[in-house]
Chains A and B, each alone.
Chain A
């Protein structure tokens, strides 16, 4: 069994790795790069805890082989805060009590970020649909939706 040489671009940085092909992007991020924000919760791509952005779109990193992610821009939750300053979504999640145990949070925030990047002023229905693949067991989603609204262009305008 041979390892593959692969270069992954994660949060704007390039990492040269040697890895067996059967390892998923989630495993390599967590175990080789120690980026543990993306998590395994369901093991079958159903929960969204493993979400990363691939060229800006949310994907299940547990369903991608690490070698398949070469040449793409990968964004993990660790790449959102810029120079110690939280991303508006991260701020909003904290402000609006959208985080309880926090296990689904990285995936939830990244999925919401992709939504706001594409749709700066989503309706509540659009927010809920965009998050329909992210499972949260603690919050009932109510304050997560509040936080995304607050972080959206409309939310920030009205303060």
Chain B
């Protein structure tokens, strides 16, 4: 690879100055002329038939400009997949969770909108409701959706090899059950939507999203408008973490109100609405039976997982599969059976969450510790013996083209001082390890590819046009670094237009961890395309062959002869003077198996490549209180290639904090039937600065053969491996397994009491 001048460096991000000054505009910051404020009327019942909605009182209130109910929508049901279309926004038949949208109002100010909501009367006929997986699956339980017997939404069934034979041949077999309630995203920016129609019937709409193109198509369907009239606009976004990829009722409601009122409309969600009426993570119970040989190599695994999906399908088939798929990527397992069930309950809707199933991942990993303990093998060795290797095929038949898993384990163990610490720490001190893997995208049919365009200014600057979206992780900066590198320009020469469905071509979005691999590759290819055209023109000027040229620091020059050079700007003007415009175009479509389907055919190449990571954590437990002091952490991931090391460290640190510190110590939801008792930050405890340990980031590079510059995915596996490391470390510290998460202090105290009783 040529020596890189921009990529691979921790350059300052292009978007952060505006955030530091407060200039960056998030959706709720937008102010349009004559803009109205909207509020949504929500169901107070977890399960009820809607008998009558009377909006007359609201419509008569001075200052109210529009009211919408089910009658204003097309009644079409939406679903991520054709076979999961089960949600009508503003339903007419029944409501299925407390907080479901029933009507909405747009008024001149928030006080009027709130007063108008109180004037809308809805008559319900309450129905029995189910709030747990057990209740939902009980024979005779009320059906939330008529076509889903037993309230089973999705059943993913994977059976590879011969699981029974594997167990029979195993030296040691054990079965454990793990569980965890749901977590929530708590993106710092609460959901908001602004919608405006112009007098040609074009819709401009802004909302935090993990893929504007993923929003535009459903909007086009649900509003019965052609795609070119639905313009999801670029906006600064305050976090996604796996959410915000799906169309939301708020999006459609805001557009309907704007259309009806003929004025722009803004909806801002309260924190409670963000927790109740967007998405949450799934609560889960996972039973894992694993058989190993004498050396601790897994011969057979049988996993059954029930997850509580809430009232609608959402990304059901994906959510039911990914927890398993991450683990089948991370570890070798020849014989494996997986039965994943997503079950409907009358609770808020569950979606994809950054830590894909803490009970699942922590279960697999803690079990490796427990097995190792029985066999006299330490946790690191257990991981090394089962680690995925490059060139392997996963059980569901994805080739793993590059894999630094072993390297992440070894490097982390070395930096953490594992050998010196394992088994040698003082009482109630522990050290633990977690390993995981992440896909770089999923098969997404016609939306699975990314395209980028590049245009030039006559003075040598360029603009990249790409559908890549930035939720805060640094994707915009990645585009600039890649384009600057290939074109031989400086980052400040590159402008970007991104994530705007009128202007930017389709891109799969950020939520499937594919922006670097797919979006980044598209930008790189577009830049290479432009560069080839530039080199054709420059070659004539420099009296050289295009193949002899290279570009750097705003000049194109002959390799090895820097004096034979020409500024990029001059090349562009030379081309223009000959009636030739220079522009770049590039597309990247990942080589995945288009026949792979989550439920019908869960086999074949899932994503073109995978990232792998290991986290280690050292903890101190106060045995009297059960409170955990996290002393230090080491987080590593094989990212393929670090496009911007500091940006990647930021992903490690953030993922560690969310998946580990929050996910394993303090984050969980409390319920009273279908009522969420901790929807906001006082009672849903997010990690704070004084509680975080020193996090040592270890970037491993396996140089993926097809990733841009060898890059794959920037750190998502750390959210999961951190969760696993916390469990491993805490159980090591107290000498007892804990299988219910998060590990709140009462669980530690209980585990220690039980351990004492057994002794």
**Chain A interface residues toward B at CB < 8 A:** 30, 34-44, 46-47, 49, 76-78, 80-81, 86, 90, 93-97, 99-106, 109, 125, 127-129, 131-145
Per a CB cutoff under 8 Å, which of A42, A47, A102 touches B19? Answer: A102
Shortest C-beta distance, B234 to chain A (Å), equals: 15
Shortest C-beta distance, B76 to chain A (Å), equals: 33
Instruction: Decide yes or no: A101 and B471 within 8 Å by CB, A135-B686, A137-B186 being known contacts.
Output: yes
Per a CB cutoff under 8 Å, which of B23, B188, B272 touches A138? Answer: B188
**Most B Cβ at <10 Å: residue of A86, A90, A133:** A90
- Contact present for B22 and A78 (CB under 8 Å): yes
Determine the distance from Cα of A102 to Cα of B271 in the docked complex, in whole angstroms.
Answer: 18
Could you say which residues of chain B place their CB within 8 Å of the CB of A135?
188, 681, 686, 688
Per a CB cutoff under 8 Å, which of B10, B15, B647, B681 touches A46? Answer: B681
- Contact present for A47 and B472 (CB under 8 Å): no
Instruction: Decide yes or no: A145 and B689 within 8 Å by CB, A90-B20, A101-B471 being known contacts.
Output: yes
Interface residues of B in 229-244 (CB under 8 A from A): 236-239, 241
Query: B597 interface residue, CB < 8 Å from A?
Result: no
Query: B401 interface residue, CB < 8 Å from A?
Result: no
Query: Which segment of B25-33, B160-168, B587-595, B724-732 sits at the interface?
Result: B25-33
Of the A-B pairs whose beta carbons lie under 8 Å apart in the complex, a sample of 14, sorted by A's number, is A40-B268, A41-B188, A42-B680, A43-B272, A77-B20, A97-B10, A105-B22, A129-B690, A133-B688, A135-B681, A135-B688, A138-B472, A139-B654, A141-B657
Per a CB cutoff under 8 Å, which of A40, A44, A128 touches B190? Answer: A40
Beyond A97-B10, A101-B19, A140-B658, 12 additional contacts (C-beta under 8 Å) are: A42-B680, A42-B682, A77-B22, A78-B22, A97-B646, A101-B187, A102-B472, A132-B690, A135-B681, A140-B654, A140-B692, A142-B650
Nearest to A22 among chain B residues (CB) is B111
Nearest to B186 among chain A residues (CB) is A137
Query: B687 interface residue, CB < 8 Å from A?
Result: yes
Determine the distance from Cα of A42 to Cα of B272 in the docked complex, in whole angstroms.
Answer: 8
Per a CB cutoff under 8 Å, which of B188, B472, B647 touches A49? Answer: B188
- Contact present for B21 and A81 (CB under 8 Å): yes
Determine the distance from Cα of A144 to Cα of B188 in the docked complex, in whole angstroms.
Answer: 16
- Contact present for A47 and B26 (CB under 8 Å): no
Determine the distance from Cα of A90 to Cα of B686 in the docked complex, in whole angstroms.
Answer: 25
Query: B457 interface residue, CB < 8 Å from A?
Result: no
Nearest to A139 among chain B residues (CB) is B654
Interface size on B, residues (CB 8 A): 57
- Contact present for A142 and B653 (CB under 8 Å): yes
Determine the distance from Cα of A133 to Cα of B649 in the docked complex, in whole angstroms.
Answer: 24
- Contact present for A102 and B236 (CB under 8 Å): yes
Shortest C-beta distance, A45 to chain B (Å), equals: 9
Shortest C-beta distance, B436 to chain A (Å), equals: 17
Interface 1/0s, chain B 632-673, versus A by CB < 8 A? 000000000000001101100111111001000000000000
Could you say which residues of chain B place their CB within 8 Å of the CB of A81?
21
- Contact present for A43 and B188 (CB under 8 Å): no
Determine the distance from Cα of A116 to Cα of B681 in the docked complex, in whole angstroms.
Answer: 27
Determine the distance from Cα of A14 to Cα of B99 in the docked complex, in whole angstroms.
Answer: 42
- Contact present for B658 and A137 (CB under 8 Å): yes
Query: B61 interface residue, CB < 8 Å from A?
Result: no
Determine the distance from Cα of A105 to Cα of B186 in the docked complex, in whole angstroms.
Answer: 16
7 A-B pairs with least C-beta separation: A37-B22, A101-B472, A102-B19, A140-B657, A103-B238, A140-B653, A36-B29
Could you say which residues of chain B place their CB within 8 Å of the CB of A44?
271, 680-682
- Contact present for A34 and B31 (CB under 8 Å): yes
Determine the distance from Cα of A99 to Cα of B180 in the docked complex, in whole angstroms.
Answer: 31
Interface 1/0s, chain B 16-58, versus A by CB < 8 A? 1111111111101101000000000000000000000000000
- Contact present for A102 and B24 (CB under 8 Å): yes
